[in-house]
């Protein structure tokens, strides 16, 4: 029995409330060797840190942990998720050097070049608005409270490129449920950190800052939606939205807001950054849809990073079976 | 003439420089995570920069009083055409998968693609008639035909301007350079800049 198997054998709990009934696209999942290795690394890290996922040390310690080589994720990954795609993950190198994070500049190489100055500890998340139990939670507390799991998801950027990323995180629904949404809550609004000292492009008017995103409450509660704190078996690198980012795999990447500091439940549809910036080009829903083109380019095909030619884009980024019911009866051309 | 030779060598160097630029990128990090996109960008920029370089030969020659720079103008123009053809070819092959339906759809629905294709379509006859025999054969019409290069360059700048990421102004330096090159051709400006 490999150590990775041993790790899985010690699974503390099922993957999520819907793990049993989910019919994910991953029935024929084969764990790529890279990932098994990744899990071994994790196991070693978990053993080394022992109860490292317990109360964190001082702020200083946490800060240094995010900047030194010690990037091993303290929470073991327990088992493959039924939502995992069976596709091979994009190389970690590519996933950490090519992405959009406008707070650090509009070029897709800017985040990897500049985001290292982001301080990810101490970090607090505020959850408020239409909830019975608003709260401000320290990130390390959050990590302890919601056990992390691995989710290997496709990521489709609105710019027609895509990746497959092994995220580590927990379902957003867990957090939202605990905050007990009121009967008026219909939407969830998210906000990124606003701090031009750490996010240099916030000195410019590239976008209205802070970056904002939103989901309908039923979308936000869907078991596919996670708050990610890691990827590739390690702590989330700053350029990918550390220390806490949203992942909504059936929507264009810009919906998956990074470096989240605030989650607010609302009665009305909240304003969202790209929609405000160019309402004709970026809708509130932004579901991946090969039938509805961006005004300046086609959404029918995408380039999977690491591949030469383009491949067809799938409705809802391949998650139609899980999420199409959320939009039954809606005109997806109008609500793009 | 030795001076003409220097101009020619400089032009050949400029024409090949993008290959070096691409080669360095390949050697350093394989042109990044999305090498096809990077290749399209680098070949496109090479084409437009060489086209603008070609357009600056005559004004420079006039200002320096050296009409023998002319061969450089043709060489740079042909290089621009070559890089533009490669640029369009990579797009057609790797982005559109050589699918004529997809290509037609792009041309119809994306103004920036139509502008790029129009620019290339104009550059091709210019390249084909750039040699001495065609010049003699076309006579006075040659000059009229080759004025189309300004239209081609404007369309190429438009091609970049229409595709840009929101909030970035990547076409601005190209547009400024083209405006300058057109301005120095206005008769009053031209008279002033000419050295005899
Ligand atoms: C059929 C002809 C052409 C096609 C299909 C084509 C296609 C493209 C495509 C797909 C892009 C990238 C767009 C993006 O990333 O969003 C691009 C960019 C560009 N193209 Fe073209 N193009 C054509 C002709 C030309 C010509 C004739 C020139 C110049 C003389 C040119 C210069 C450029 C430049 C400068 C860029 C921008 C590069 C950058 O962003 O750094 N293109 N073209």
Question: Which B residues in the span 27-86 are in contact with A, Cβ-Cβ below 8 Å?
Answer: 32-34, 36-37
Asked whether the beta carbons of residue A298 and residue B168 sit closer than 8 angstroms, the reply is no
Is the pLDDT higher at A49 or at A315?
Answer: A315
Contact assessment for residue B162 and residue B114, using Cβ atoms and an 8 Å cutoff: no
- On the question of pLDDT at A68 being above 50, the answer is no
Span A208-255, pLDDT tens digits = 999 999 999 999 999 999 999 999 999 999 999 999 999 999 999 999
Tokens of A186: 């219909």
Q: What is the mean predicted confidence (pLDDT) over A305-334? A: 95
Q: Is A296 on the interface with B (CB under 8 A)?
A: yes
Span A144-165, pLDDT tens digits = 999 899 999 999 999 999 999 9
User: Which residues in A lie closer than 8 A to residue B95 (C-beta atoms)?
Assistant: 303, 310
With CA atoms as reference, report the closest residue to A89 among A199, A201, A217, A232: A232
Q: What is the pTM of this model?
A: 0.83
B41 Cβ inside 6 Å of ligand 1: yes
Distance CA A336, CA B14 (A): 46
Question: Which A residues in the span 252-291 are in contact with B, Cβ-Cβ below 8 Å?
Answer: 277-278, 281
Average pLDDT, chain B: 91
* pLDDT band for position A26 (cuts 50, 70, 90): very low
Q: What is the mean predicted confidence (pLDDT) over A32-40? A: 39
Centre of ligand 1 from the C-alpha of residue A75, in Å: 46
Ligand 1 atom with the smallest distance to the CA of B80 is 30
What pLDDT sits at residue B67? 76
Is the pLDDT higher at B51 or at B2?
Answer: B51
What pLDDT sits at residue B99? 85
Distance CA B12, CA B97 (A): 32
Domain with B67, as residue range(s), is 3-195
Q: Which of A106, A111, A294, A312 to mutate to test the interface with B (most CBs of B within 10 A)?
A: A106
B87 Cβ inside 6 Å of ligand 1: yes
Nearest CA in chain B to A162: B34
In terms of C-beta density within 10 A (0-12 exposed, 13-18 middle, 19 or more buried), how is residue B69 classed?
Answer: buried
Distance CA A121, CA A232 (A): 20
Ligand 1 atom with the smallest distance to the CA of B45 is 35
Cα A163 to its chain centre, rounded Å, is: 13
How many C-beta neighbours within 10 Å does residue A282 have? 21
Span B34-84, pLDDT tens digits = 999 999 999 999 999 999 999 999 999 888 888 778 889 999 999 999 999
* pLDDT band for position A64 (cuts 50, 70, 90): very low
Tokens of B25: 């990128």
Ligand 1 atom with the smallest distance to the CA of B174 is 35
Distance CA A322, CA A221 (A): 13
What pLDDT sits at residue B196? 65
Max CA separation in chain A (angstroms): 55
Q: Which of A9-23, A143-157, B142-156 is the least confident region?
A: A9-23
Q: Is A5 on the interface with B (CB under 8 A)?
A: no
Contact assessment for residue A168 and residue A92, using Cβ atoms and an 8 Å cutoff: no
Distance CA A198, CA A245 (A): 17
Distance CA A221, CA A226 (A): 9
Q: Is A106 on the interface with B (CB under 8 A)?
A: yes
Which distant-in-sequence residues (6+ apart) come within 8 Å of B6 by Cβ? none
Residue nearest atom 33 of ligand 1, based on CA coordinates: B44
Q: How many residues would you count in chain A?
A: 336
**% of chain B beyond a pLDDT of 70:** 95
Distance CA A255, CA A192 (A): 12
What pLDDT sits at residue B3? 64
Q: Could you tell me if residue A316 is left (phi over 0), alpha (psi between -120 and 50 degrees) or otherwise beta? A: left
Domain count, chain B: 1
Q: What is the mean predicted confidence (pLDDT) over A279-299? A: 93
* pLDDT band for position A76 (cuts 50, 70, 90): low
What pLDDT sits at residue A24? 39
Ligand 1 atom with the smallest distance to the CA of B41 is 38
What pLDDT sits at residue A72? 46
Is the pLDDT higher at B122 or at A20?
Answer: B122
Nearest CA in chain B to A100: B165
* pLDDT band for position A63 (cuts 50, 70, 90): very low
* pLDDT band for position A13 (cuts 50, 70, 90): very low
* pLDDT band for position B4 (cuts 50, 70, 90): confident
| DSSP notation for A198-210 | TSGGGGS-SSPSS
- Give the residue ranges of DSSP H helices in A180-296: 217-220, 273-277
Q: How many residues would you count in chain B?
A: 196
* pLDDT band for position B2 (cuts 50, 70, 90): low
B44 Cβ inside 6 Å of ligand 1: yes
Q: What is the mean predicted confidence (pLDDT) over B3-16? A: 90
Distance CA A195, CA B75 (A): 51
User: Which residues in A lie closer than 8 A to residue B167 (C-beta atoms)?
Assistant: 102, 106, 205-207, 277
Nearest CA in chain A to B92: A309
How far away is chain A from the Cα of B151, in angstroms, using its nearest Cα?
Answer: 23
Q: Which of B35, B101, B111, B166 to mutate to test the interface with A (most CBs of A within 10 A)?
A: B166
- Three-class DSSP category at A156: strand
Max CA separation in chain B (angstroms): 55
Asked whether the beta carbons of residue B163 and residue A296 sit closer than 8 angstroms, the reply is yes
Asked whether the beta carbons of residue B34 and residue A98 sit closer than 8 angstroms, the reply is yes
A110 cis-preceded (ω within 30 degrees of 0) = no
Q: Is A308 on the interface with B (CB under 8 A)?
A: yes
Half-sphere exposure (Cβ direction) of A65: Cα atoms closer than 13 Å: 23
- On the question of pLDDT at B154 being above 80, the answer is yes
CB-nearest to B34 from A278, A301, A305 is A305
What pLDDT sits at residue A19? 38
Any idea what DSSP says for residue A150? Answer: E
Radius of gyration of chain A (CA): 19
Tokens of A71: 């990037």
Contact assessment for residue A206 and residue A106, using Cβ atoms and an 8 Å cutoff: yes
Question: Which A residues in the span 234-253 are in contact with B, Cβ-Cβ below 8 Å?
Answer: none
User: Which residues in A lie closer than 8 A to residue B115 (C-beta atoms)?
Assistant: none
Contact assessment for residue A74 and residue A43, using Cβ atoms and an 8 Å cutoff: no
How far away is chain B from the Cα of A35, in angstroms, using its nearest Cα?
Answer: 20
User: Which residues in A lie closer than 8 A to residue B97 (C-beta atoms)?
Assistant: 301, 309-310
Half-sphere exposure (Cβ direction) of B33: Cα atoms closer than 13 Å: 21
With CA atoms as reference, report the closest residue to A103 among A190, A200, A239, A192: A200
What pLDDT sits at residue A61? 36
What pLDDT sits at residue A78? 58
Q: Which of B33, B37, B40, B90 to mutate to test the interface with A (most CBs of A within 10 A)?
A: B33
Is the pLDDT higher at A60 or at B97?
Answer: B97
Span B77-109, pLDDT tens digits = 999 999 999 999 999 998 888 888 888 888 888
Radius of gyration of chain B (CA): 18
Contact assessment for residue B113 and residue B121, using Cβ atoms and an 8 Å cutoff: no
* pLDDT band for position A266 (cuts 50, 70, 90): very high
Ligand 1 atom with the smallest distance to the CA of B119 is 27
Distance CA A69, CA A64 (A): 9
What pLDDT sits at residue B163? 86
Contacts 24+ apart (CB under 8 A), A56-60: A56/A140, A59/A121, A59/A122
């Amino acid at each position: 029995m490999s150590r990775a198997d041993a790790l899985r054998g010690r699974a503390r709990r099922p993957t999520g409330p819907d793990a049993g009934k989910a019919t994910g696209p991953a029935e024929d999942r084969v764990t790529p060797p890279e990932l098994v290795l990744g899990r071994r690394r994790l196991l070693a890290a978990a053993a080394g840190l022992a109860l490292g996922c317990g109360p964190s040390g001082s702020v200083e310690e946490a800060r240094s942990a995010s900047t030194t080589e010690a990037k091993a994720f303290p929470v073991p990954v327990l088992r493959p998720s039924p939502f995992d795609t069976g596709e091979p993950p994009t190389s970690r190198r590519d996933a950490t050097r090519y992405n959009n994070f406008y707070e650090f500049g509009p070029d897709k190489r800017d985040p990897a070049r500049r985001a290292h100055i982001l301080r990810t500890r101490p970090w607090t998340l505020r959850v408020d608005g239409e909830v019975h139990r608003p709260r401000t939670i320290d990130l390390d507390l959050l990590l302890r409270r919601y056990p992390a799991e691995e989710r290997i998801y496709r990521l489709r950027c609105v710019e027609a490129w895509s990746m497959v990323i092994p995220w580590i995180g927990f379902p957003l629904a867990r957090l939202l449920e605990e905050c007990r949404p009121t009967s008026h809550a219909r939407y969830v609004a998210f906000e990124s950190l606003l701090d031009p000292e750490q996010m240099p492009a916030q000195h410019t008017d590239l976008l209205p800052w802070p970056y904002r995103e939103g989901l309908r409450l039923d979308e936000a509660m869907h078991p596919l939606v996670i708050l990610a704190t890691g990827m590739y078996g390690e702590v989330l690198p700053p350029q990918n939205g550390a220390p806490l980012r949203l992942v909504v795999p059936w929507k264009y990447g810009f919906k998956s807001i990074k470096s989240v500091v605030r989650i607010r439940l609302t009665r009305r549809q909240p304003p969202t950054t790209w929609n405000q910036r160019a309402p004709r080009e970026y809708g509130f829903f932004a579901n991946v849809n090969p039938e509805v083109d961006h005004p300046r380019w086609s959404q029918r095909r995408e380039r999977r990073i690491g591949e030469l030619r383009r491949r067809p884009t799938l409705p809802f980024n391949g998650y139609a079976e899980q999420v199409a019911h959320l939009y039954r009866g809606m005109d997806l051309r109008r609500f793009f | 003439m030795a001076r003409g030779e220097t101009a020619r060598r400089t032009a050949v160097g400029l024409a090949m420089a993008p290959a070096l630029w691409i080669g360095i990128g390949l050697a350093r990090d394989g042109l990044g995570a999305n090498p096809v996109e990077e290749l399209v960008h680098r070949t496109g920029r090479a084409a437009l920069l060489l086209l603008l370089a070609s357009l600056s030969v005559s004004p420079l020659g006039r200002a320096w009083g050296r009409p023998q720079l002319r061969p450089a103008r043709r060489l740079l123009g042909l290089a621009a055409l070559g890089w533009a053809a490669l640029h369009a070819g990579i797009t057609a092959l790797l982005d559109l998968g050589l699918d004529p339906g997809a290509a037609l759809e792009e041309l119809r629905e994306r103004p920036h693609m139509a502008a790029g294709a129009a620019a290339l379509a104009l550059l091709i006859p210019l390249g084909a008639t750039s040699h001495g025999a065609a010049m003699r054969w076309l006579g006075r019409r040659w000059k009229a035909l080759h004025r189309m290069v300004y239209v081609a360059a404007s369309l190429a700048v438009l091609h970049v301007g229409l595709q840009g990421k929101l909030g970035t102004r990547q076409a601005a330096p190209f547009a400024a350079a083209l405006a300058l090159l057109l301005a120095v051709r206005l008769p009053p400006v031209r008279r002033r800049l000419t050295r005899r």
